[in-house]
Amino acid sequence: MTRTDTPPSWDERTQLTTFLDYARATARAKCEGVSPEDARRAPLPGSPLMTLCGLVNHLRWVEYYWFQVAFLGEEDQGPWTDEDPDREMRIAVDIPLEQVLAAYEEQSARYRELVAATDLDTPAKQPMRDGRRPDLRWVLLHLIEETSRHNGHIDVVRELVDGTTGS
């Protein structure tokens, strides 16, 4: 898999989308070659939901929330509930990692189209808790941060389940 964090041009949109795609590709690369069993293992005793399947599924659903629910204002159809706010991580152990990765990539392709067709200054339809509406630029920056942070978790989980480091 080829990953690059060097944008093909230096305009703001290209820089933001290049870094988000790089972070997405890094999450996928860190999962390459893991066994189906290890993809479902939660090696951290205090974090029973922190599996490779769970982390990638979380990334998928975080993007869904920020693009479709917060930005576009659509009804929240996410798997989480008030009783089980981390359900997207819990249910992922029943889904093969390849399927989780494919769903994440398919969804990412749709969001690339949305971002390409939308001005970065466009405000989200749904306000945040403080009443402000972030613009698309903020959503992209937030997703870069969120994905990159969870890539660190993926690093740790991968090393603990099968000893693989790097990527």
Residue type for position 72: L
Q: In this predicted structure, what is the pLDDT of residue 167?
A: 64
User: Do 71 and 139 form a contact (C-beta atoms < 8 A)?
Assistant: yes
Domain 12-162 classified CATH 3.40.109.10?
no
pTM of the model: 0.94
Mean pLDDT over the full length of the chain = 96
**Tens-place pLDDT, residues 46-104:** 999 999 999 999 999 999 999 999 999 999 999 999 999 999 999 999 999 999 999 99
For the stretch 110-155, pLDDT in tens is: 999 999 999 999 999 999 999 999 999 999 999 999 999 999 999 9
39 — pLDDT class (breaks 50, 70, 90): very high
Domains of the chain, by residue range, sit at 12-162
Q: Is 123 helix (H, G, I), strand (E, B) or coil?
A: strand
Q: Give me the phi and psi of 3, to 5 degrees please.
A: -125, 140
pLDDT in tens, 13-27: 999 999 999 999 999
Residue 63: which of 12, 31, 109, 29 has the closest Cα?
Answer: 109
